[in-house]
Amino acid sequence: MADRDNLPVVVIGLGRFGSSLALELTRLGTEVLAIDHRPKIVQSLAGEITQIVTADATDLQALHQLGIPDFQRAIVAIGSDIEASILTTSLLVEVGVENIWAKAISRQHGRILERIGATHVVLPEHDMGERVAHLVSGRMLDYVQIDPDFVLVKTHPPRELVGVPLAETRLRRKYGVTIVCVKSKGEDYTYATPDTVLQYGDIILVVGPTSKVERFTAL
């Protein structure tokens, strides 16, 4: 039985979002079938993706001809054509694709995609905007939302944590967050332990509920 992580993926829609996904999946060694209805786009990416074809993904017969029912993973990366996005997603559900990631351009669009069967909805513009807002507004060096109310943040340690073993800071009790990794200047990341002593200029990875991480990074 094939490793689930190595199962082939069909990517439908090769705008900036879809093409970057397809290229990165290919680079990571995943077999990709990329589909777009625009011949020029397909031609420009030929040779860079495992398999790429010009087809109309809103045509059920075309999906069958391409063997899409044999895929367990699909990404609907269609951009501004909401009708095509919804129809393609519904057809993928109809032919039995188990895991469908679908790009949405608004929350309303995303809710519709979820209702018709998309297992994962991605709002790249919204998510990127939220991430940048957090980076601009505080001391965060990077921000990744793990769950609706749980994040991982890269930042520098606040003054009160410097020079003290983490066990003595009572960090989780006081702030409700956990430091999982530390990177000192010129060194690789290492796991944080109760004996870890942070220094000015260190980079730390902090996880916890969004509001608590935000308060911690504002110290």
Q: What is the pLDDT of residue 192?
A: 95
pLDDT along the chain (219 residues), means of 10: 68 93 90 95 93 96 97 92 96 96 92 95 79 72 87 93 94 94 94 94 95 90
Strands 9-12 and 73-76: parallel
Asked whether 72 and 99 are in contact (CB, 8 A), the reply is yes
Q: What is the pLDDT of residue 3?
A: 52
Question: Which residue type occupies 186?
Answer: G
Strands 32-36 and 51-54: parallel
Dist CA 84 CA 106 (whole Å): 15
Q: What is the pLDDT of residue 31?
A: 93
Q: What is the pLDDT of residue 1?
A: 34
Q: What is the pLDDT of residue 5?
A: 56
Q: What is the pLDDT of residue 2?
A: 46
Q: What is the pLDDT of residue 114?
A: 95
Quote the tokens at residue 84.
């095509």
What is the pTM for the complete model shown?
A: 0.70
Q: What is the pLDDT of residue 4?
A: 54
Q: What is the pLDDT of residue 124?
A: 83
Asked whether 63 and 69 are in contact (CB, 8 A), the reply is yes
